[in-house]
Structure 1
Amino acid sequence: MTKKRPRFTYSSICLAALLASAPAFAINGIQMGGYGVKNSGMGGASIALPLDAEAAANNPAGLAFLPASYSLELLVFNGESTADYLAPGNRLQNKTTITIPSGGVIWKYSDQVTFGLSVAAQGTGADYQQALLPVPGAAQGKSSLKVVEVIPTLAWKPTPEWSLGASLNIAHSTLDVSGVIVPAPVPGGLLPLPTHGSRSATGTGIRLGALWQTTPDLNLGVNYKSRTRMGKFSGYKDDLLAYSDGRLDLPEQYGVGVAWNVSQNITVAADWLRIQYGDLKVMQDPNGFGWRDQTVFRLGASWAVDPNWTLRVGTSKSRSPINSSRVAQNVLTPSLFDRTFTIGGSWCANKKSEFNAALEINPRRSVTGTGASTGANLSAKAYVLMLGYQHAFD
């Protein structure tokens, strides 16, 4: 007789602990607000405006319009979250600072063919430095989900105005969770789940894109990223991720963008991006946190002050994947942000070297639970400092 794997009605608590989020990563769900320091300074607007060697994370076709070069970037996240969690007076507080490297490199095979390799990161994690609930024997509540995406890319430019791009999305995830507490078989009881330590999973997907320079001053772009199907996290598939059979896939997404050179010195760009969180099995547990699909609007502008200095500003608006009726299921996943403000700038040291910086501000947002989530409250804010260096080979 095969032993049936339990699918607990308390999976909401399991999944919340799994993705417990310092807002450091969770800007658009578990994704970054933008990729590439320069594009991030413009609210993340990037689908029709490739600016550096991390462009394949935004639109693989963009590499064809960039010179042979490399980019090195460092992102510093500082986030705070507060949660009133399940029991009266049980307040959890988290403060996190974390650094994440990223970047990319572009090689020109010919005027028509470009190869590239971009590296992007996403994920979530928190350390509340206390038990999630006052249960005897409960370990310190903390979790970490780190995802690195390596994106080898081929971009083809059949005409000077058109480019097509295709990438392989190779993802590696690391999961480490402790201190999860669930209802025990005895009515009213609570039971800490076992700690499985750090476990890894890998997966692959694809990215596609097109970029059309309709006029010398107007670009249109489209992108598509398939679901990245990840392997199973051993250990966690038996309890924490039982509903999704141990898998934490990365969502499918697609978008369109436009970039307009208003004048010789001013460029405006805008994106519409759709992220399909609701299609993931891990999000479909009827007793889980049930993230909904997310639509993101991004708008940014740049001003070339002189040949050496460029200033940037931007904003983004989205719908949080968490609605108020699911606050209780997401007490440890406060991905609440629905608005972002950014500023940035670049300094060209010479014709080949450029230094870039940007600051992303995610104002504090609070949500009060309704319906079955009445009594649960979430609050979060975050800042992201981005620094980068870009060097052209030719």
Structure 2
Amino acid sequence: MSNGFDRMRYARGMAAGALLMLPVHYARAVDGISLSGSGVMSAGVGGTSIAFAQDSTVAADNPAGMGLVGSRTDLGIQLLEPLTDFEYGSASNRLHTGRVYPVPNGGANWQITPRLTLGVSLFGVGVGTSYGRPALPIAGAGVAQSSLATAIAAPTVTYRITEHNIIGVSLALAYERFSANGAIVPTADGTLRPLPSHGVSSAFGYGARIGYIWQPTPAFTFGASYATRIRMSQLAGYKSDLLASGGGRIDIGAQYGIGIAYKIVPSVTVAADWLHLQVSNTIIGSAQGFGWQNQDFFRVGAAWDVDSRWTLRTGFSRGNHPIGPSVVAQNLLSAMPVSTAVSAGASYRFSKSDEVSGVFEYGFPVTVTGNGSSTGFSERTKTEVVGISYGHRF
């Protein structure tokens, strides 16, 4: 390690940011701190789902969308691989992480009457970092790594108030498991000491979602949705040190957005979303935590029903990056997201009732070079996602 490297500056960054995995659906691990698409079908069109409902995971993005998918069940998994290189002090001081994180999703929906549906969407994220060695050669320092897995169940009811208008509401019931190891902090006398790992800690949380769909013609759909902040309980152990600045909680911030979908011909639908992700009132956005900025994402996608068997999809997503140069150091143990991604997907229908879908998504590399208190730090990340799901109509 270079002699000129400021170990105290590095330790402060470690202490502030030593963990996060990038929680659940309130943003995206490709679009912020969750996946671009809550389900495999929506991931295929770049996450555009506020007005473009395709399966029973749609309540993650717009509860009212469940009023358009009919009676069906879905089960899928997306495999997220964030590849991150973190440099500090000099180019020779480099940490690398590149694990694969499985992110399950699914749902079920019942068309109770022509106006009423009841259902549930299941979604979440599982990400982290694992550098394979201590971040600093400090006696007693453990391997620098972190993991957070958050799952959300969204029981949902929709009601068609008129022929062209649907409203939907959901609860958001969250469960998260968190662990962190290898954090190092400065002491009052200027030395450095490692924090103990508290193992795996669990928390529960709750929130709510509301959505609206307007479909004046069979070809055009407008959607809008709002999700409240999900307030999590304290993570035992970590509330006393690593997460003390956030009261021991990793809350999931509010989000809201609007979208449109249009059938240019009966077999081709194009869609677009604007999505705002708010982190400013959580530990993720606080200056004492990770210092992330609120984000605005623009997503576009298209789906082509080639014939009765095949549907092809493609999409694009772009937003402002949440991590600024001044807070690179405190995000060493949080998996940095990308801000631009493209995707391609397809569905194959075995029958009128059963189909299988797949997706591949690529998040373009992004590099943030630190300044101010993060001078000497640099982080580079790219992501790849593959997913598969099965859907059954009944």
Which TM bucket (shorter chain)? over 0.9
Q: Which residue of 1 aligns with 2:101?
A: 98
What is the TM-score of this pair, normalised by structure 1?
0.93
Does 2:298 align with 1:297?
yes
Across the aligned residues of Structure 1 and Structure 2, the Cα RMSD in angstroms comes to 1.9
Whole-angstrom distance in 2 between the partners of 1:79 and 1:367:
15
In structure 1, C-alpha distance between the alignment counterparts of 2:13 and 2:212, rounded to whole Å:
39
Q: Quote the Cα distance in structure 2 between the aligned partners of 1:12 and 1:211.
A: 44
| 2:163 is aligned with 1:160 | yes
1:46-65 maps to which residues of 2 (within 5 A)?
Answer: 46-65=49-68
**Maintained 8 Å contact 1:30/1:124:** no
Q: 1:26 to 1:376 in 2, by over 3 A?
A: same
- 1:170-209 alignment to 2 at 5 Å? 170-187=173-190, 189-209=191-211
Using the TM superposition, give the Cα deviation of residue 390 of structure 1 relative to its aligned residue in structure 2, in angstroms. 0.6
- SS of the aligned residue for 2:42 comes to helix
Aligned equivalents of 1:332, 1:349: Cα separation in 2 = 44
Q: Which moved more, 1:121-130 or 1:50-59?
A: 121-130
Change (3 A) 1:141 1:282: same
Report Cα offsets for 1:325-344 as digits up to 9, x if no partner: 22222233342411000001
In structure 2, what is the Cα distance between the partners aligned to 1:49 and 1:225?
17
How far off its partner does 1:127 sit?
Answer: 1.3
Question: Which has the higher mean CA deviation after the structures are superposed, 94-103 or 82-91?
Answer: 82-91
- Residue 4 of structure 1 is matched in structure 2 by none
Counterpart residue type for residue 275 of structure 1 = L
The corresponding residue for 1:3 is: none
Q: Percent identity?
A: 37
Within a 5 Å distance, the mapping from 1:279-298 to structure 2 comes to 279-285=281-287, 287-298=288-299
Paired letter, 2:315: G
Task: Please list, as runs of the form range in 1=range in 2, the aligned pairs for 1:1-394 lying within 5 A after superposition.
Answer: 12-19=13-20, 26-85=29-88, 89-187=92-190, 189-285=191-287, 287-393=288-394
Structure 1 unaligned segments of length 5 or more: list them: 1-7
Contact 1:11 1:288 (C-alpha < 8 Å) held by counterparts: no
Question: How far 1:391 sits from its partner (Å)?
Answer: 0.4
How far the C-alpha of 1:283 sits from its partner, in A, is 2.5
1:197 Cα deviation from its structure 2 partner = 0.8
1:51 is displaced (CA, Å) by 0.3
Counterpart Cα distance in 2 of 1:259 and 1:368: 38
Answer yes or no: is the 8 Å Cα contact 2:13–2:332 preserved in 1.
no
Offset, 1:364: 1.6
Partner Cα separation in structure 2 for residue 138 and residue 372 of structure 1: 23
Alpha-carbon distance, 1:13 to partner: 1.8
Q: Is the 8 A contact 2:302 2:313 kept in 1?
A: yes
The amino acid across from 1:106 in the alignment is N
Change beyond 3 A, Cα 1:44–1:313: same
Matching residue's letter, 2:278: Q
Task: Give the aligned length.
Answer: 382
**2:180, 2:319 → 1: CA distance?**
29
Shift of 1:304: 1.3
- Asked if 2 retains the 8 angstrom alpha-carbon contact of 1:61 and 1:163, the reply is yes
Q: Is the 8 A contact 1:30 1:123 kept in 2?
A: no
Q: Structure 2: how far apart are the matches of 1:78 and 1:221?
A: 31
| Separation of aligned partners in 2, 1:323 and 1:172 | 29
CA distance in 2, matches of 1:42, 1:313: 5
Q: CA deviation at 1:281?
A: 4.3
TM superposition shift of 1:30: 1.8
